Amino acid sequence: MKYKHFAAIIVIASLAFACQPAKEKERKSGGTIERLDPELDKIITPQATVDIVAEGFTWSEGPLWVEAKNMLLFSDVPEDKVYKWTEEKGAEVFLTPSGFTGEKTTSNERGANGLTFNPEGKLVLAQHGDRRIAVMNASLDSPKAIYTSIADHFEGKRFNSPNDVVLRNNHFYFTDPAYGLGKGTEDPEKEIAFQGVYCVFPDGRVNVLVDSITRPNGIAFSPDGKYLFIANSDPEKAKWYQYELNDSSTVVSGKVFYDATSLTSTEKGLPDGMKVDSKGNIYASGPGGVWIFNSTGKVLGKIKVEGPASNTALSTDEKTLFITNDGNLLRVKMR
């Protein structure tokens, strides 16, 4: 009898293990959370983990949460694809080609990078290969690689390779470094002398906001829309900038929000994509992982990851933070 009881115990224990949710059994750590200020506990619980929810990409970028579909979209730039991720199915190819619709390019980063929505809810892409900001002419339920340009020239010259884009008050704001060109800033096809930050007005006009940042990359607004934050992915000037805009989308003033240049020789990654929550906290990829600032520029903590982090996204309820991290997609559950 004792052997029967022992066998029963084994069966019960095995069933209990088998009934654990798959996501718990398969959870892989993607990093750690470094707490630098008690204020971080109000945002991320001490029990929070950094989990890998998808992996195997060449360079993941541009995460965008889609509340209506309960999914995340993100780019794999070198592979010229946009993926969708859901809790149920993980990562699946959503759209390809995502950034280059021509026949030949010398670029190794031809795909889309940053993603956002237009006022009608259609997907907007910063396309490296086609050197433009474009809208996908299809629904999210039936994506197709058919695009219409929103902006592709400034003063008659082609953009370098639009990198990240946000929508604010029906205006598109985007950065235009030269990463998507085959030889970067030395590429003979580069037509604009500087790496600019632009505003596209609803009527299609394009104004340059800033032309002095060496490698403008990530871009985000404060909750009230008064301040524009821009990341500079230059190892010699690894800085986040803050610009005040007036009602005409013109820069009034600017300053360095935070300078991380001293860390670029010892930490992987540079200031890149970022998001701002409803309280003004900033989740910015940078040296060593994702930096979490409050609205005054105080560093509350860091999400330390292996390899460079490229961008972040928040769910609509701000209870989940997604991080594109080299070939991985990470998730941190917030308060």
pLDDT of 146 reads 98
Residue 1 has pLDDT above 80, yes or no: no
Residue 157 has pLDDT above 70, yes or no: yes
CATH class for the region spanning 64-212: mainly beta
The answer for residues whose C-beta is within 8 angstroms of residue 326's C-beta and 6 or more apart is 59, 60, 306, 307, 308, 309, 310
The mean-pLDDT minimum among 6-10, 54-58, 274-278 falls in 6-10
Q: Which of 131, 128, 132 is nearest to 77 (CA)?
A: 128
Beta carbons of 175 and 154 less than 8 angstroms apart: no
What is the percent of the chain where pLDDT is above 90?
A: 89
pLDDT of 21 reads 35
Q: How many CB atoms lie within 10 A of CB 187?
A: 16
pLDDT of 106 reads 82
Mean pLDDT of 261-274: 97
Q: Which of 202, 199, 167, 164 is nearest to 180 (CA)?
A: 164
What is the percent of the chain where pLDDT is above 70?
A: 92
Segment 177-207, tens digit of pLDDT: 999 998 999 999 999 999 999 999 999 999 9
The mean-pLDDT minimum among 19-33, 212-226, 293-307, 310-324 falls in 19-33
Q: Which of 222, 231, 224, 173 is nearest to 199 (CA)?
A: 173
Averaged pLDDT score across all residues of the chain:
92
Segment 296-329, tens digit of pLDDT: 999 999 999 999 999 999 999 999 999 999 999 9
Overall size of the chain counted in residues: 335
CA 285 to chain CA centroid, nearest Å: 8
Q: Which of 250, 249, 253 is nearest to 241 (CA)?
A: 253
Confidence of residue 4 (pLDDT cuts 50, 70, 90): very low
| Separation of alpha carbons 245 and 248, rounded Å | 8
pLDDT of 279 reads 97
